[in-house]
Amino acid sequence: MNKLFNFDEEFRHSKEIALLCGIDEAGRGPLAGDVYAAAVVLPPDFLSDGLNDSKKLSEKKRNYLFDEITHNALSYSIAIATIEEIEQINILNAALLAMKRAYSALTVKPEFTLIDGNKLPDIDCEKSALIKGDGTSASVAAASILAKVTRDRYMSSLHEKYPEYCFDKHKGYGTKLHYEKIREYGISPVHRPSFLKKMH
């Protein structure tokens, strides 16, 4: 069995619970776009070959797992915090807000929630932060895949609106290409001004 599923099984056993939720976000680092978060409650008997931290998977594998997770999850939700909210309350608080929104929209409430990272969103559930959770827990890894795939699709849709920035290639991250395009065309309405203060 995949070690991520072993972790969840042992965690549920130690807490004497049946339903465990994983939460993760995507898009804290990019210079553009909303921040996304996902919450997932997997069936206790769910197994999937190749489930892992979304950053370690190919785009094709992430898309395959996205469909598998969404078809099998007892409940899942994907939420955002907007560029405006990122600017108002900073990226960390915006990511936590997106996590809270994702959790709040679940139709099946878990008994315990594991959150990737070292900060906890304000949710009405027993919870714990898990550093590198997306490479440790199957539930958190599943959430990381849903958040990452959905955000990547959103950035590809922004590319259609602002093709000059090549969002389909870098997904908003601060690559050499992205900085070159910002210098050439200026800051777009979907960029995060606070992330670009150092640019001249």
What average pLDDT does this structure show over 29-36?
97
What average pLDDT does this structure show over 33-39?
98
Give the pLDDT confidence score for residue 189 in this predicted structure: 97
State the pLDDT confidence band at 49, using cuts at 50, 70 and 90. Answer: confident
% of the chain surpassing 70 pLDDT: 99
pLDDT at 200 exceeding the cut of 90: no
Give the pLDDT confidence score for residue 199 in this predicted structure: 73
Q: For the chain, give every domain's residue range.
A: 3-154
d(CA 174, CA 170): 8
Closest alpha carbon to 32 in 193, 145, 180, 184: 193
To the nearest 10°, report the CA torsion of 89, 40, 153, 192: 10
pLDDT at 155 exceeding the cut of 80: yes
Q: What is the mean pLDDT of the chain?
A: 96
d(CA 97, CA 198): 26
Distance of CA 52 to the CA centre of its chain: 13
For the entire predicted model, the pTM comes to: 0.96
d(CA 32, CA 192): 5
Compute how many other C-beta atoms are within 10 angstroms of the C-beta atom of residue 199: 12
To the nearest 10°, report the CA torsion of 11, 13, 16, 18: 80
State the pLDDT confidence band at 1, using cuts at 50, 70 and 90. Answer: low
% of the chain surpassing 90 pLDDT: 96
**Class of domain 3-154 (CATH, top level):** alpha beta
pLDDT tens for each residue of 90-149: 999 999 999 999 999 999 999 999 999 999 999 999 999 999 999 999 999 999 999 999
**3-class secondary-structure state, position 124:** coil
Closest alpha carbon to 79 in 146, 131, 142: 146
pLDDT tens for each residue of 156-187: 999 999 999 999 999 999 999 999 999 999 99
